[in-house]
Structure 1
């Protein structure tokens, strides 16, 4: 309550202060007769209104465009075109934004204002990302960054590196994204770029979030919010950061804190009349309500978000929101709509994040880095030539030295070309393998969705249980392929994370997540896919049977999973419960037990069963010796 009251007072004070300043500027504008000074006053009014009300900022931008066009002021015309385009973009009027940004580009090029050209390219890239044109966005950001480097504009270079980092994050190329983010932070610190401190820290938070370092991302976002408030960067900026803080809390599982942050963000966005943030935070309110189990409330938020994004052609997060709607419908028992929105997500994903698009972005980034290196070589060669003129060495020595340098340079180029070709081939192979795993995982999800849809239409409980068991088996294999295309290693699975995700999915599908206490005792362990998939199926069968038979009458209980690699290349697995123990009468069809036995033989292992204070299954698998 105190936080809400404090937020209200701050918003009221900021709004009153900025409104008073705009009134004073309006009076100056009315009394000023010099068009150039009038345009400068209007520009200040746009900057102040941007932090208060986006619609007012658009109104003042239009006034600046009208006046600069009327007096044909070539310097101010492209600046106001860029301002108006920016307001249209933030109001999600993306088609209008493109029109004015293109007019700004022509205006800046006409007066050879290279910095204006670069800043406009940055903004056009933002629109491209909203439309899902990721390769076009990267190309514009790299072009703008090149201009800023030519101008030696440290602030522009810092901004460009931050935006390229953001582009790479969209493509899940997180190591490269982190590299560019760290470059931006270093330039900001080395050159004391106060105005860029917020953006580099905020982007570093986004990269940390994408790398699943949620605690680190929360630290970056909180630091960004402090900087935004200290520098009075305005309500839109604060709303963006507050939304990001909510995302970090959500990923950390602190859903109530996330809900508070999202509500605060919504208040800031509405105060600033900032639709871009409003649309985003409504989606997040839907997701966090879904995670809290408030499915009807969540569905209301998510459908609003999907409708807004489809209307504004904003596909930047539409795939994620389609998937959320599908999940909510599934929880509410509307399997037809769940499958419908899942298919929408797959269709949109294939149209945006294709392997060709990823390869195109790699090509653009390589071209930029290569050209930069070539320019560095040219500069070095120029310095060498200047030094040779100064030197008093004989012509013969100079010629000999030049010959040696040429020979070394040609050898270096040949080796570099060979290494580059090998690296490109390896990268393409890795990209293709990731796409294969991605598509296998998607196909398995479709199979799982079809099984779910079919089981919903079956009345016989035995058949329904069999369908659910088959769905869980498919999901256990699908998670392996998901981990492969998301991970750093294509040939290995990190088992701790895999077993945790698999177990939670199984308990959720059996509606047992609240009554079963799952204890996972294992360190991080990488295993090959041929071992990981059978292990996942064994754990799936044991968990399913335990939940069904070890805890009758909906009793609570504990299941413990322990896995470790022993020194003699033996993988040790234990699955234990504190249930009623093995019954005298055999239950079920026995298929699960047969499957466990076959998979144990396949992995060259042994199984032991103990019945004391529940049931414990102990496995020892002889792993293949590593070379």
Structure 2
């Protein structure tokens, strides 16, 4: 059942209309997307709007990941506003998939966790399984193959429980990939062949392309280069015939080039890599860009072009280290060591050789875990044998002492009778206490529900205020007044998100700030139409704060983000804004908001009305804090607040 909140939906529809017109003007040549945007702008039914946004995500995913991410985010917002339990996890999964393909792994994990929670609440087993697949993909990028195999096996169980043949084939493919990465190649190849057979029997042609890929991966790991080329070539040709997305075509092309490289056809492989890299860069496919860059580094090493190899390998390692992606990092360290050795730079060759050894030892934990598992099995078996022998000895001893136990039991019988009546009285008291506790629990649940409803209504009222400001600002022509109205909208929004997190979360007394900052940043970027030129990153661990602290900090961050987007990047320059919030010793909170923009001109005239700066100072005083500002390489504003931990 969908709960409607009229005031919130009116505001959202107004916001979506502006968004749609903007996207329409930017994509006038994309007829299918244009048609859907026009249909979306005139559609009144919420269910159909969500369906149209889903179609927009699918279309944009074929060529523009960032555009697809924006449509997915709009789907999340509309599904949350309308409390649509079916569509909420679907759009979280879509948004996570876009983040993952752009190698934004932390954001991908957050969205996949929300999707899994939503699918579990509505008992959507297929949704849970497909989300597990994507969580496993992130684990593999982070080098945690054991965790990836664990979630892929969970997905297989779910698909088998609903007898989803296509889902089962997908699970087989992923398990084959996991086993290949663990070096269990025979098992991996068996799973790949099972997938190929199942796909051919059921006419699952799209999944068959991935099954060929899994078989090719195992064959290339076994050293059967020509066999792997055959599988990869089948996968690429099938994908082209079925009009797969450009991202899949890039992946399949890279796999085929890998086989050519292993076959010793270096020039042909290099040409294929360069074509794939150019295409990946055209569509901003981050995941493929660094993988193909690594392959170009290796192929140039094999061709003896060490300077070109060095350039590609350094780019690859830098990307992997910055993203926390340890897949194939040991191999890439080895390549860098070899390249530096060929260039006679022996200190750096030794440094990267050491890094490769450290990484190898850390990833070798899987084999160590296998050995430990075998030892534990042997230990448990021996322990059970010892327990059986001890039990036999104990039985013999019990027979000798049985008479003594009977005598002792008789002596205690009368005592137990008296204890029975005592326990009976205690039981009555416990039952009365349990009844009282149940009544208190019911009262607590009622109070919690009422408090959530209060937060929900406050959030809706703030949305209404925001909508009224938006409607008023639409009739203003003075740019300064209009900017002030937009700033007021963002301040109301920052408080509204606080109350939304409170009624949606499990802890009514605290806010998780990282997720809050991500939502706040997205909203501000939307309000200034700056999503394509400004990136907001949240460099912090998860941290919960009480409401009295979270609200002023949220308003401070709102003002700083607004100022940075308005003034730090003139002439539509691209930029980056970083938010850091951490709990230090002695209950001190450290907040830092920085950008890489133009910074403030010393002695220059202040921009804007100055109200935002006054508000920041007042809120800093309210929190008994200290503010410091630096204008080196952009603008950086730091705060220190005294803080009492949230209950």
TM-score (norm 2): 0.53
Residue of 226, 230, 244 corresponding to 1:219? 230
1:73 is aligned to 2:108 = no
Residue of 38, 54, 62 corresponding to 1:51? 62
Report the counterpart of residue 283 of structure 1 in structure 2. 294
Residue of 126, 139, 145 corresponding to 1:128? 139
Partners in 1 of 2:29 and 2:136 — Cα distance? 30
1:356 is aligned to 2:368 = yes
CA contact (8 A) 2:63 2:283 kept: yes
CA contact (8 A) 1:135 1:357 kept: no
Give aligned pairs, total: 350
How far off is 1:189 after superposition? 1.1
How far off is 1:194 after superposition? 2.1
Report the counterpart of residue 433 of structure 1 in structure 2. none
CA contact (8 A) 1:287 1:324 kept: yes
CA contact (8 A) 1:131 1:314 kept: yes
CA contact (8 A) 2:65 2:285 kept: yes
TM-aligned CA distance change 1:278 to 1:362, over 3 Å: farther
How far off is 1:346 after superposition? 0.9
Partners in 1 of 2:73 and 2:278 — Cα distance? 27
1:266 is aligned to 2:277 = yes
How far off is 1:19 after superposition? 2.6
Mark the runs of 5 or more structure 1 residues left unpaired by the alignment.
Answer: 1-14, 365-627
Residue 30 of structure 2 aligns to a residue whose secondary structure is: helix
TM-aligned CA distance change 1:270 to 1:162, over 3 Å: same
CA contact (8 A) 1:148 1:156 kept: yes
Residue of 246, 249, 255 corresponding to 1:235? 246
Residue 253 of structure 1 aligns to a residue whose secondary structure is: coil
CA contact (8 A) 2:206 2:239 kept: no
TM-aligned CA distance change 1:69 to 1:264, over 3 Å: same
TM-aligned CA distance change 1:36 to 1:87, over 3 Å: same
Residue of 171, 181, 187 corresponding to 1:176? 187
Report the counterpart of residue 157 of structure 2 in structure 1. 146
Partners in 1 of 2:340 and 2:178 — Cα distance? 32
Any idea what the Cα deviations from partners look like across 1:409-429, whole Å, max 9, x if unmatched?
xxxxxxxxxxxxxxxxxxxxx
Residue 327 of structure 2 aligns to a residue whose secondary structure is: coil
1:28 is aligned to 2:46 = no
Residue of 253, 256, 266 corresponding to 1:255? 266
CA contact (8 A) 2:298 2:335 kept: yes
TM-aligned CA distance change 1:54 to 1:357, over 3 Å: farther
Report the counterpart of residue 166 of structure 1 in structure 2. 177
How far off is 1:146 after superposition? 0.7
How far off is 1:213 after superposition? 1.0
1:321 is aligned to 2:328 = no
State how 1:454-493 maps to structure 2 within 5 Å: none
Partners in 2 of 1:70 and 1:80 — Cα distance? 13
TM-aligned CA distance change 1:336 to 1:241, over 3 Å: same
Report the counterpart of residue 96 of structure 2 in structure 1. 85
How far off is 1:359 after superposition? 4.9
Report the counterpart of residue 355 of structure 2 in structure 1. 344
CA contact (8 A) 1:202 1:224 kept: yes
CA contact (8 A) 1:134 1:167 kept: yes
1:194 is aligned to 2:194 = no
CA contact (8 A) 1:238 1:268 kept: no
How far off is 1:172 after superposition? 1.1
Residue 249 of structure 1 aligns to a residue whose secondary structure is: helix
How far off is 1:228 after superposition? 1.1
TM-aligned CA distance change 1:127 to 1:358, over 3 Å: farther
Residue 325 of structure 2 aligns to a residue whose secondary structure is: coil
CA contact (8 A) 2:129 2:159 kept: yes
Report the counterpart of residue 570 of structure 2 in structure 1. none
Report the counterpart of residue 545 of structure 1 in structure 2. none
Partners in 2 of 1:156 and 1:271 — Cα distance? 32
State how 1:365-444 maps to structure 2 within 5 Å: none
CA contact (8 A) 2:195 2:208 kept: no
How far off is 1:195 after superposition? 2.5
Residue 316 of structure 1 aligns to a residue whose secondary structure is: coil
TM-aligned CA distance change 1:361 to 1:215, over 3 Å: farther
Residue of 91, 107, 115 corresponding to 1:96? 107
TM-aligned CA distance change 1:283 to 1:81, over 3 Å: same
CA contact (8 A) 1:49 1:57 kept: yes
Partners in 2 of 1:18 and 1:282 — Cα distance? 32
Report the more deviating stretch, 187-196 or 171-180: 187-196
Any idea what the Cα deviations from partners look like across 1:61-105, whole Å, max 9, x if unmatched?
111111111111100000000001111111100011110000001
Any idea what the Cα deviations from partners look like across 1:331-382, whole Å, max 9, x if unmatched?
0001111111011011011112222344589999xxxxxxxxxxxxxxxxxx
CA contact (8 A) 1:138 1:361 kept: no
1:62 is aligned to 2:77 = no
Any idea what the Cα deviations from partners look like across 1:188-210, whole Å, max 9, x if unmatched?
11111122111111111111111
Partners in 2 of 1:310 and 1:78 — Cα distance? 31
How far off is 1:268 after superposition? 2.0
TM-aligned CA distance change 1:195 to 1:17, over 3 Å: farther
Partners in 1 of 2:229 and 2:173 — Cα distance? 18
TM-aligned CA distance change 1:361 to 1:289, over 3 Å: farther
TM-aligned CA distance change 1:32 to 1:138, over 3 Å: same
Report the counterpart of residue 516 of structure 2 in structure 1. none
TM-aligned CA distance change 1:238 to 1:363, over 3 Å: farther
Partners in 1 of 2:346 and 2:321 — Cα distance? 22
Residue 159 of structure 2 aligns to a residue whose secondary structure is: helix
1:106 is aligned to 2:94 = no
